[in-house]
A and B are shown apart, each in its own frame.
Chain A
């Protein structure tokens, strides 16, 4: 399978968390992920969304880029702002996101480039059977 890319841009408002979760779940299902894996994906997508919407004001947009590969799915949340400040609030936010993401993703990273800050995470498909 070639790698497919799907992009979803939503306002940073909590009512769109569901849209992001369901999109992530539907795409994960396309990859044949199991229920357990999809639950992980949903939680990861949710956490990415919450982290992103904590970082941004409600009138901002968050772009989610989903990349589907043979081995799994990458979710790249583009926050479109400068690196969030490192005050106590964002430290806490990062620590919380880390806490959850460590448990549900195979890889994740906070990064930044010319488009602004990113939260990138990866979930492997078929991990259950391999385990």
Chain B
């Protein structure tokens, strides 16, 4: 995939200037001018590099990852709908990461999370929901450990297993320990009907559906309107901590989609 560097080196401090990006997309949609597309590719090449770097030290040359990531970027540029109320960076990230992961999958790359930890992770998540309701605040690790009858260390270990942070676990064993267990990745991108029966978190659209309208609104105010957390809190008449929590949840969904597709 030929990627030409734009002749004029970007002088813009932040070359992913939102308004300028929109303008370029508008021009590209109207004129289908290849040079505009090239400029977009150049502008967002660093996003590809950044995302590719998150998968380095996984046995694949970084240049290869950047190359497949760039394919994802080009797909995202061609598919991006400028009418959508989403930033291009947000839109492109899962596509780029998807290509990179596909590359790993094609190389037969896989690591499994131990089943014991998966189960504990699941119980910890349930305990958090229960305790948050009961205590009317986010529980401490000690409270979760006591509720489940496990040690604080085990709770922390289970949190570490939660998918959002597992850049390593491209593949999750959803079956038993037997040879008939199957992998989510075998199904990704194959069939929408099949996708529906798998864990919600495996698709981007499903992931966005998991955000409440309020969370979507907060995300919008924070990253489109550029309001601070305090400003958002005032506008929505909620506490700044609630805003922080809402934002974190949406970020986590983004993160999960950096890991999974």
Contact = CB atoms under 8 A, between A and B. Distances in A.
B57 A15 contact: yes
B3 interface: no
A63 to B, nearest CB: 19
A70 interface: no
B69 to A, nearest CB: 14
Contact of B248 (A36, A46, A53): A36
A43 B140 contact: no
A29 B165 CA distance: 18
Interface in A39-71: 39-40, 42-43, 46, 50, 53-54, 58
Contacts, number: 113
A18 B160 contact: yes
B57 A91 contact: no
Given A32-B140, A32-B142, A95 B14 contact: yes
A93 B52 CA distance: 12
Nearest to A106: B244
Nearest to B241: A131
A34 B140 contact: yes
Nearest to A130: B241
Interface stretch (A2-10, A20-28, A76-84, A114-122): A20-28
B248 A39 contact: yes
Contacts of A50: 53-54
Given A25-B160, A32-B142, A100 B251 contact: yes
Interface of A, helix, strand, loop or mixed by DSSP: helix
Interface in B136-182: 137-142, 144, 152-153, 156-157, 159-160, 165, 167-168
A34 B131 CA distance: 11
Contact of A29 (B58, B128, B140, B247): B140
B167 A14 contact: yes
A46 B165 contact: yes
Interface of B, helix, strand, loop or mixed by DSSP: helix
Contacts of A22: 156-157, 160
B16 to A, nearest CB: 8
Interface in B39-76: 46-47, 49-50, 53-58
A128 B138 contact: yes
A73 interface: no
B247 A103 contact: yes
B241 A35 contact: no
Given A25-B159, A89-B49, A92-B47, A42 B165 contact: yes
B216 interface: no
B57 A13 contact: yes
B114 to A, nearest CB: 14
A36 B248 CA distance: 9
Interface string B224-261: 00000100000000011110110110011001000000
B126 to A, nearest CB: 12
A128 B141 contact: no
Contacts of A93: 50
A33 B50 CA distance: 31
A54 B10 CA distance: 21
A75 interface: no
Q: Which 8 A-B pairs have the closest CB atoms?
A: A131-B241, A34-B138, A36-B138, A131-B239, A92-B46, A29-B141, A103-B247, A14-B57
